[in-house]
C-alpha cells in the first residue's frame, strides 16, 4: 500500500490512559529500548470505534481490529506488533474470508517499475490477478514492505505465478501469512508516521 493510501489516525491531544502493569526487571537485566511513537500514543488515546476504524485499514477483519483495539493501551510498538501477530494467528476461516474480501479494496497496484515494458507488466499483472481470483476466490495478498520500490512489480508477478500452482489449502495458509505480514507492516506505518 503506498504511503498516500496508508491508514491514518485522527490527531488528538494526548488523553490520559491507565499504565500497563509491569514486572520489575532484575538489576542485572540488559537495558531494553522501548519504542513508543506518537502514532501509538494516538491509537492508545482515541475512542474504541475510531481505533477499530483505523485498524480495519490495516487488516479487514473486524475481529482482528476489535481485539487490537480492546487490548489498548500498548506500552510500546513491540507489544502492539506482538498483539497483531497473535490476533492474526487466531483468525477463524470466516475472519480470514472477511479480511480477504476487504483486501481487494486495501491494496493499491504496485508502483515501482517505470519505463519500457511497464505497460506490458501491468497488463500481465491484471491477467495474473484475474486468474488467481478465479482459482482461489479471493484477492491475492503478498507483503512487499521489505521490497525496494523498483522491485515490487517483479515480486508481485513472480509470487502470483508461483502461487497459482498451489493447492487451495496450501494457498489459504500462505495467504493468511502474507495477510499477517501486510497487516503488521501497515500497522507499523500507522503508528510510526508523524
pLDDT (tens digit per residue) in 147-158: 998 888 889 999
Judge whether 100 and 139 are in contact, CB under 8 Å: yes
pLDDT of residue 152: 87
pLDDT of residue 122: 78
Q: Where are the domains of the chain?
A: 99-182
Query: What's the CA gap between 182 and 144, in Å, rounded?
Result: 8
Q: Would you state the cell numbers that stand for residue 50, as one nine-digit string?
A: 475510531
pLDDT (tens digit per residue) in 66-118: 999 999 999 999 999 999 999 999 999 999 999 999 987 555 555 555 555 67
* 174: CB partners within 8 A, 6+ apart: 163, 166
DSSP the chain: --GGGS------PPPP-PPPP-PPPPTTSPP------HHHHHHHHS-HHHHHHHHHTT---HHHHHHHHHTPPPSSHHHHHHHHHHHHHT--HHHHHHHHHHHHHHPPPP----STTHHHHHHHHHHHHHHHHHHHSS------TTS-GGGHHHHHHHHHHHHTTS-HHHHHHHHHHHHHHHHHHHHHHHHH--
Q: Which CATH number fits domain 99-182: 3.30.70.270, 3.30.450.40, 3.30.2350.10, 1.10.3330.10?
A: 1.10.3330.10
Q: Which of 18-27, 43-52, 185-194 is least confident?
A: 18-27
Rounded to the nearest integer, the mean pLDDT of the chain is 81
pLDDT (tens digit per residue) in 168-181: 999 999 999 999 99
Query: What's the CA gap between 132 and 89, in Å, rounded?
Result: 23
Amino acid at each position: 500500500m503506498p504511503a498516500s493510501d496508508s491508514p491514518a489516525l485522527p490527531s488528538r491531544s494526548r488523553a490520559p490512559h491507565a499504565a500497563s502493569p509491569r514486572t520489575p526487571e532484575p538489576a542485572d537485566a540488559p537495558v531494553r529500548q522501548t519504542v513508543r511513537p506518537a502514532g501509538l500514543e494516538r491509537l492508545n488515546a482515541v475512542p474504541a470505534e475510531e481505533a477499530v476504524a483505523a485498524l480495519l485499514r490495516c487488516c479487514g477483519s473486524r475481529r482482528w481490529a476489535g481485539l487490537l483495539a480492546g487490548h489498548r493501551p500498548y506500552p510500546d510498538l513491540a507489544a502492539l506488533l506482538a498483539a497483531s501477530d497473535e490476533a492474526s494467528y487466531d483468525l477463524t476461516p470466516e475472519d480470514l474470508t472477511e479480511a480477504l474480501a476487504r483486501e481487494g479494496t486495501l491494496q493499491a497496484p504496485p508502483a515501482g517499475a517505470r519505463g519500457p515494458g511497464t505497460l506490458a507488466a501491468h497488463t500481465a499483472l491484471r491477467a495474473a490477478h484475474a486468474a488467481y481470483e478465479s482459482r482461489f476466490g479471493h484477492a491475492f495478498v503478498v507483503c512487499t514492505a521489505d521490497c525496494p520500490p523498483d522491485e515490487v512489480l517483479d515480486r508481485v508477478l513472480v509470487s502470483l505465478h508461483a502461487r497459482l500452482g498451489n493447492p487451495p489449502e496450501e494457498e489459504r495458509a500462505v495467504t493468511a501469512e502474507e495477510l499477517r505480514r501486510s497487516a503488521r507492516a501497515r500497522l507499523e506505518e500507522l503508528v510510526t508516521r508523524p
